[in-house]
Amino acid sequence: MSKSNFTRRGLIKTGAVAGAAGLSLPTYLRADGHSGFTNAPTGDTVTLGFNVPQSGPYADEGADELRAFELAVEHLNGGGDGGMMQTFSSKALQGNGILGKKVEYVSGDTQTKSDAARASARSMIEKDGAIMITGGSSSGVAVAVQALCQEAGVIFMAGLTHSNDTTGKDKKANGFRHFFNSYMSGAALAPVLAAQYGKDRKAYHLTADYNWGYTTQEAVQSSTEAMGWETVNAVLTPLTQTDFSSYIAPVLQSGADVLVLNHYGGNMVNSLTNAVQFGLRDKEVNGKKFEIVVPLYSELMARGAGANIKGIFGSQNWDWKLENQLGARYVGTNAFVQSFGEKYGFPPSQAAHTCYVQTLLYADAVERAGSFNPCAVVEALEGFEFDGMGNGPTLYRADDHQCFKDVVVVKGKENPENEYDLVEIVEVTPTEQVTYEPDHPQMAGGQLGECNPGA
Amino acid sequence: MDAIILQILNGLDKGSAYALIALGLTLIFGTLGVVNFAHGALFMIGAFCAVTLSRILTLSHTVIDETQKDFLGNPLKVDVPYIYDIFGQQTGDAIIDWAVPISILFAIPVMVGIGFAMERGLIKHFYKRPHADQILVTFGLAIVLQEIIKYFYGANPIPTPAPDAFRGSFDFGAMLGFDPNTIIYPYWRLVYFAFSAVIIGAVFAFLQFTTFGMVVRAGMADRETVGLLGINIDKRFTIMFGIAAAVAGLAGVMYAPINSPNYHMGMDFLVLSFVVVVVGGMGSLSGAVLAGFLLGILESFASMAVVLEILPGINQIIIYLVAIIILLTRPRGLMGRKGVMEE
């Protein structure tokens, strides 16, 4: 297993060098050799494309992503309080747009459908001249749009996408993911689950029948089995399923004492609600209290599940309470929550956070590269170590364009103090424990390829 | 054996929702000859009646609690429901707890009103138009209703729990002499099944034993002749549309605690309900109910792990597979009448 050896001190040094010189990384010069690239900005503005679900089952998540993007644009253009630009270790961003060009944006509706997402991304690239596409709230969408951006020669800064494949077998040189993935969820959750529920457990998986479901089940299954758990069954459920009772009811007959719900969004809300209705959480099986696990958590899902989420373990990319509860390692969290909270009146979701960070990271990479050329941006982001964005020290690994940072293990709060206080941070799993080799079997099968600057 | 009983129970429950929606669809199709693609949206609006009443009952005024802080570090704003001011906290909480059943009273006039408005405002202009036009306009209406709900309530599911007394589940298996924990069934699903049975029975009784019902049935058989007898059949059919809307709405109200309402829940049920109607036989009320339960039970069996091991993916196609087989062998569906939707 590869271990990143970057340290806080190393990070500060890198940031200081990059910040002071800006041009100290000679590889950037290579970008100047390109004669042109797709949508090279010619005037005094630059256009970013925000491709989020504005309709369909993830529309609320998309709305939160869009709020974050708008906040990021405001900060990049020098408005507001600057948010995480104040805490970001790189100091390349000056609040005067990107490379002095005012940031404008266009938005599209992915409808959480790959074809619709590609169509809206294509329109933003071809008609609106977007130089970077970001957003999304589904791994299927992310993989599809990432491939399109690779072909078109623009950068794709993935929003919420958790499937291993996004930076695994479907990785692309023009695509980058800040969000964590299924492997990391499994690696972070398994030790906590073993400590909480014991090593002698029998798990039953219900898995959403698509790409993300498969990789999440594979990751959680292999991590928990490595801890001693046995997997008694794994059943695929259709994405369109709304009533999971016929899948939930037989779980108690299977001899399992843990149910893992590899479901997201409305699927997870319904399957968890059904599981609680069927009294699974009040039962004892094999002499142990029956437990339910939700590998990928979100605040919006927790709200949808209501009281059913109480006490249920899962993992998150980030939580708005991180800095308050776990200290300065997660600096940037409070700055973002303050900015977002003042503007919108409620705390940001992890989807909002990752989208905001991705936008700032892109802008910063352009500044450091001194060019909007996608190949220059790729070079600036590859191997980039940064801090101050709310997740602690983070590495954008060059091999697969995946961010490596701590993973938050959470559980549904038993006694919420208010409507936003639904998730309790149980533990933060250090980066080293969730880091894997680029050719790990769960990621294998694809090539990053070469960056494509387009025209 | 216990697994079979469990899936039959599950199927009855799922079938209840299919049957109630299909019953309303068939009522509208049988009386007005309209293929109502907005029927799923009426089911969804019913569920949102429960959400709305819950929100009305929890309407609050804000009290600043200086001793606590909110997420930005400002003094915490605590919401106190107005209902506490009127009835006191204990009674207020009890009323809020029973919001879903109380919503039935709220939903009936709302749904009947929406049904009347839909029929008089839009559908009546499409009586003489082809079924394709009717499908397009009602489907468009369904999308409009869906978007309105999304605008006001957001896209996220909204938890709408059953009263405390009906939460949890009981051990049906232990009662029947099986091992404990083998047949567990939630209380509220039993309530839903019983409620569906009552509604279905009431609709049948209404059509069978009242003069109004008799005239409607006669109108379903031969609208022109009934009209020639001097009976204002249009008015009665408008009322039937209101009743069908109310049936769909009530099915939605009581479904809210089973799965948190969201704006596209109607669409999730709509296609399946149409399959149910077609399998049952276009225009046949008893066919709709029978097919609803039959397909609900089959879907449950197809979701069993042991079945999926032998036939992977059968859970996704079982309903359509059965529909094909039934329609190939009985083109008018299980209980379809001759002449309905046949040129």
DSSP state of B161: P
Q: How many contacts does A have with B, using Cβ atoms within 8 A?
A: 141
DSSP string, A260-285: EEE--HHHHHHHHHHHHHTTGGG-EE
**How many angstroms away from the CA of B224 is the closest CA of chain A?**
42
Chain B residues touching residue A308 (CB < 8 angstroms):
159
Q: What pLDDT score was predicted for residue A31?
A: 40
**Is B76 an interface residue toward A (CB < 8 Å)?**
yes
Q: pLDDT (tens digit, 9 = 90+) per residue, A313-346?
A: 999 999 999 999 999 999 999 999 999 999 999 9
B3: nearest CA partner in chain A? A250
Domain-by-domain residue ranges, chain A?
A: 45-180+322-401, 183-316
- For the ranges A21-25, A263-267, B204-208, the lowest mean pLDDT is seen at A21-25
Run of H or E residues at A106: strand A102-109
Whether the predicted pLDDT of A232 surpasses 90: yes
pLDDT in tens, B229-275: 888 877 888 898 999 999 999 999 999 999 899 998 998 888 888 89
Spell out the domain ranges in chain B.
1-48+103-329
Give residue A4's pLDDT: 42
Contact A320 B3 (CB under 8 A): no
CB–CB of A214/A246 below 8 Å?
Answer: no
pLDDT band at A56 (very low <50, low <70, confident <90, very high): confident
pLDDT of residue B178: 81
Residue with tokens 């329609």: B327
Express each pLDDT in A409-446 by its tens digit.
999 999 887 778 899 999 999 999 999 999 999 998 89
Q: Please answer yes or no on whether A60 and B68 come within 8 Å at the CB atom.
A: no
What does the pLDDT look like over B6-49, one tens digit per residue? Answer: 888 888 888 898 899 999 888 888 777 888 899 999 999 999 99
Going A349 to A350 to A354 to A355, the CA torsion angle's sign is: negative
Instruction: Return the percentage of chain A with pLDDT > 70, whole number.
Output: 92
Q: What is the pLDDT of residues B45-91, one digit of tens each?
A: 999 999 999 999 999 998 888 887 777 878 877 888 999 999 999 99
Give ipTM to 2 decimals.
Answer: 0.84
Chain A contact for B208 (CB, 8 A cutoff): no
Strand A407-412 vs strand A313-316: parallel, antiparallel, or unpaired?
Answer: antiparallel
Q: Smallest Cβ distance to A304: which of B184, B188, B260?
A: B260
CB atoms within 10 A of CB A204: 24
Residue A283 has its nearest CB partner, among B3, B154, B181, at B181
Closest C-alpha to B119, from B285, B262, B246, B270: B246
Q: What are the tokens at A40?
A: 């090279």
Which CATH code of 3.40.50.2300, 3.40.50.2020, 3.40.50.670, 3.60.20.30 fits the domain covering A45-180+322-401?
A: 3.40.50.2300
A45-180+322-401 against A183-316: fold identical: yes
Name the CATH superfamily for A183-316: Response regulator (3.40.50.2300)
